[in-house]
Structure 1
Amino acid sequence: MRKVTASGQTVDEAVQSALRQLNISEDQAQVEVIDEGKKGILGLFGSKPAIVKVTQKENPVEKIKKYVKNIVNEFDAQFEIETNVVQNEVMIQLSGEKIALLIGKRGQTLNALQYLAQLAMHQYSDKYYSVTIDAEGYRERRKETLISLAERLADRASKTKKDVKIEPMPSYERKVIHTALQKRSDIATDSQGDEPNRYVVIKPK
């Protein structure tokens, strides 16, 4: 972690000097005032410079990458981790020969890892970031499976005129169900229950 001790006539001047030396902006810095300084008589006699210690904050995206890496290293396998950031969205891609270990049954292990990473990100950054963790294209395959499931169960609800409940799933998977069926005029969808057991109900109109 890079840090610099700098001085100046005022605290602000000292901070700006340190920022220039580190080549970072103020929002990337943690400032500790060691001495506020003293102007002295007429700004000359008995003056004392202000002294600050400025430490560069670790990038929250790098911190979350390390966090995820520490977790997956507990598995008896080698995995590669890549991160991509678009505005406030952090996408973490995992790959490896035993990737199924990280996905788990119906993505439960992957979802748990993503949940933990999102909680950690809230602690690492003052700015809001959403975190998505994928494993060799699993999320897209899962999405296609959910859309197919939604259509099939919607047909059943429409035909039998009875509500159809889908097993509990994370909010972003429920959103896939709602979005897939929102244009159908013969059924409606609703989320019920409490997290983490919230589920989608398909209702015939």
Structure 2
Amino acid sequence: MKEVTTVGQTVEEALQSALQQLDTTEEQVEIDVLDEGKKGLFGLFGQRPASVRVRKKADPIEESTAYLLSIAAQLGVHPDIQVEKTGKHVRFSLSGERIALLIGKRGQTLNALEQLTQLVINRYSTDFIHFTLDAENYRERREETLVALARKMAKKALVTGKPVRLEPFPSFERKVIHKALAENRQVRTFSEGKEPRRYIVIEPKSV
């Protein structure tokens, strides 16, 4: 139940009845006063009850969870979702059978789902929420892979004495590579190209 219409002798009485039925608080609802009511003559004649329509405000996490589950279901996957909320950051962690379908090749499906769900969660939030979507700790494993790649390609650049151009990566993965080599005094990294084909170049500092 997300919306009810109630009556009472006063607006406040009608409101409290609605909150009780919805099992919520006044801060979590939107209120429309349909009729402020009218006291009857001598408390008897012409009396009219007050009425209100009260509906629950959309919850960003509930809405984004439902959206993500609906998309997953269309792919034939029914994951469990663990939600972690820290300040204005929300992290969804997916687990269950056939999770690989939600990750996709090199995380492309997971990245797309993250971007779409980010839009949904902020559509229903008054403050911007930083959203992260993970599945079976894929993000951590992917970061380890990128760090290993960065170090390997840095060595190649030093051995050949020539710049090494990596394949295109999304911006947050490029940041991982830049960070991995930030303290390497023998090479420098920079990005070239335009999204979504932007890539990293690793070159010896002597070049």
Could you list the runs of 4 or more consecutive aligned residues of structure 1 that deviate by over 6 angstroms after TM superposition? Answer: 6-10, 13-16
CA deviations over 1:78-97 (Å, ceiling 9, x no partner) = 42222221111211111223
RMSD: 3.0
2:83–2:92 Cα contact (<8 Å) kept: yes
Q: Tell me the TM-score normalized by structure 2.
A: 0.78
2:15–2:52 Cα contact (<8 Å) kept: no
- Residue number in structure 2 paired with 1:116: 116
CA deviations over 1:55-102 (Å, ceiling 9, x no partner) = 211211111111100011112344222222111121111122322211
Amino acid at match of 2:143: K
Q: Tell me the TM-score normalized by structure 1.
A: 0.78
- Residue number in structure 2 paired with 1:58: 58
Question: How many positions carry a matched residue from both structures?
Answer: 196
Give the superposition deviation at 1:163.
Answer: 2.2
Of 66-75 and 150-159, the range deviating more from structure 2: 150-159
Counterpart secondary structure, 2:34: strand
Q: Using the alignment, how far apart are the partners of 1:85 and 1:15 within structure 2?
A: 34
Q: Using the alignment, how far apart are the partners of 2:145 and 2:138 within structure 1?
A: 10
- Residue number in structure 2 paired with 1:95: 95
Counterpart secondary structure, 2:74: coil
Q: Using the alignment, how far apart are the partners of 1:194 and 1:31 within structure 2?
A: 48
- Residue number in structure 2 paired with 1:107: 107
- Residue number in structure 2 paired with 1:29: 29
CA deviations over 1:42-64 (Å, ceiling 9, x no partner) = xxxxxx99864332112111111
Amino acid at match of 1:184: N
Q: Find the structure with the greater CA-based Rg.
A: 2
2:31–2:53 Cα contact (<8 Å) kept: yes
Q: Using the alignment, how far apart are the partners of 1:175 and 1:35 within structure 2?
A: 57
- Residue number in structure 2 paired with 1:190: 190
Amino acid at match of 1:60: P
- Residue number in structure 1 paired with 2:179: 179
Amino acid at match of 1:24: T
Q: Using the alignment, how far apart are the partners of 1:178 and 1:169 within structure 2?
A: 12
1:188–1:203 Cα contact (<8 Å) kept: yes
The runs of 5 or more residues in structure 1 that have no matched partner are 39-47
Identity of aligned residues (%): 46
1:94–1:135 Cα contact (<8 Å) kept: yes
Equivalent positions of 1:33-182 (< 5 A) are 33-35=33-35, 52-182=52-182
Q: Using the alignment, how far apart are the partners of 1:88 and 1:6 within structure 2?
A: 38
